[in-house]
Amino acid sequence: MTETTPLSAVSLTRGISASRQWRVLPMIEIAVLVIGLLLPLVLQDYLTVYATRVLILCLFALSFDLVWGHAGIMSFGQAVFFGSAGYGVALLARDLGITSMLLVLPAGVLIGFAFALLLGGFLLLGRHPASVIFVALGTLTGSYACDRLARGWYYLGGQNGIPSIPPMTIGSYELTEGPAYYYTAIGFLIVVYLLCRFLMRSQFGLALAGLRENEQRIAFFGYKVQHLKAIIFSLSGAIAGLAGSLYAFHEGFVWPNMLGVVISTQVVLYVLFGGSGTLIGAVIGTVVIEAVSFWLSNSYQDIWPIILGVLLLLVILFRPAGLVSLLLSERERVGSFGRPGKR
């Protein structure tokens, strides 16, 4: 039998130990932020363009970390929301001449949200809980089907996609690739990251943790698990949509691969490699994979995919909690939700 301790004493000692535990994650986040903000000052222009692409992919990876790392929903079809938003804003720009950031980015967010709601409604909202495998295969199939649809649809440019998208505009200013686009992308990444961080550390985040750990159990507490799933899946679709819109204008064209299984799988690898369920793990995983790919493809042009594959395999086998687990304790990685003021 355990002896009881006065509540105030327990609260005090636990409070102290909790605050001691919570130092590493914010330090990593601040370090990543500082590096991200200073990077264009030291990078050559072509590398700034590459880094911008990586930042947008970080945003995309956050969308997957929300559904898998926090809610336990294995989506192998995140590219559907990424690519559909990309195509959507490309069509707005090509056919209607709409390139204003104030219109195209909300449109991209809405498109991603709507597609996620549609696919999520179909896969997740049955009377009985859908299994992880069912959702993974269902989303993968959705991604494949969208890819094939885009390849065969003349209006969407078929195999070639939609080229020569005009630049996104803010008023009369044209936002072209380079430092300006980089800081725009990092601005969106910071805002989305902070919103996700706030939400995942809220009581809603605790409900999602319950969903991830034991869906049946929390249903017996009275949670409407289908609503939780629909909300987080749609939210993740909206973020992927934002990323897809930024990507489309940054690259200047969209093509069917943006909807397909390759990029859907790629985003899974980013998050697994960095460490799921931490948000920062998604960012680190994306940056490390893209940076290593870039370096390897220059240094070992013939065998770099093999080296990268082995590296990914090693991390996933020996560090299943991802790279961040090298720095974060299990306790801090899982997180705690309950103590006001001790976040």
Site for other proteins, rule CB under 8 A: 1-5, 7, 10-11, 14, 17-18, 199, 202-204, 206-207, 209-210, 213-214, 216-225, 227-228, 231, 331, 334, 336-340
Q: How far is the CB of 1 from other proteins (least distance, A)?
A: 6
Looking at beta carbons only, is 54 or 74 nearer to other proteins? 74
What is the C-alpha to C-alpha distance for residues 327 and 333, in angstroms, rounded to an integer? 10
Do 65 and 198 touch, CB atoms closer than 8 A? no
Report the distance separating Cα 272 and Cα 323, nearest Å. 9
When the beta carbons of 128 and 299 are compared against other proteins, the nearer one is 128
Q: For residues 257 and 1, give the distance between their C-alpha atoms in angstroms, rounded to a whole number.
A: 60
Q: Is the Cβ of residue 209 or residue 289 nearer to other proteins in the bound state?
A: 209
Whether 261 and 76 have beta carbons less than 8 Å apart is answered as: yes
For other proteins, the closer CB: 111 or 207: 207
> Phi and psi for 94 in degrees, rounded to 5?
-70, -45
Distance between CA atoms of residues 143 and 76, nearest Å: 8
Q: Which residues contact 57 (CB under 8 A, 6 or more apart)?
A: 243, 247, 267, 270, 286, 290
Smallest gap from Cβ 206 to other proteins, in A, equals 6
Closest approach, Cβ 230 to other proteins, in A, equals 11
| Min dist. Cβ of residue 57 to other proteins (A) | 27
Please state, in angstroms and rounded to a whole number, the distance separating the CA atoms of residues 230 and 120.
6
Shortest Å, Cβ 329 to other proteins: 11
Q: Which residue has the tokens 């220059």?
A: 298
State the Cα–Cα distance between residues 151 and 160, nearest whole angstrom.
Answer: 8
* Closer Cβ to other proteins, 11 or 100, answer by number: 11
Q: Indicate the residue among 215 and 251 with the shorter CB distance to other proteins.
A: 215
The nearer residue to other proteins, 172 or 216, going by C-beta atoms, is 216
Minimum CB separation of residue 44 from other proteins in Å reads: 42
Q: Output the smallest distance, CB 9 to other proteins, in A.
A: 9
Mapped onto helix, strand or coil, the DSSP state of residue 113 is helix
What is the rounded distance in angstroms from the CA atom of residue 207 to the CA atom of residue 164? 44
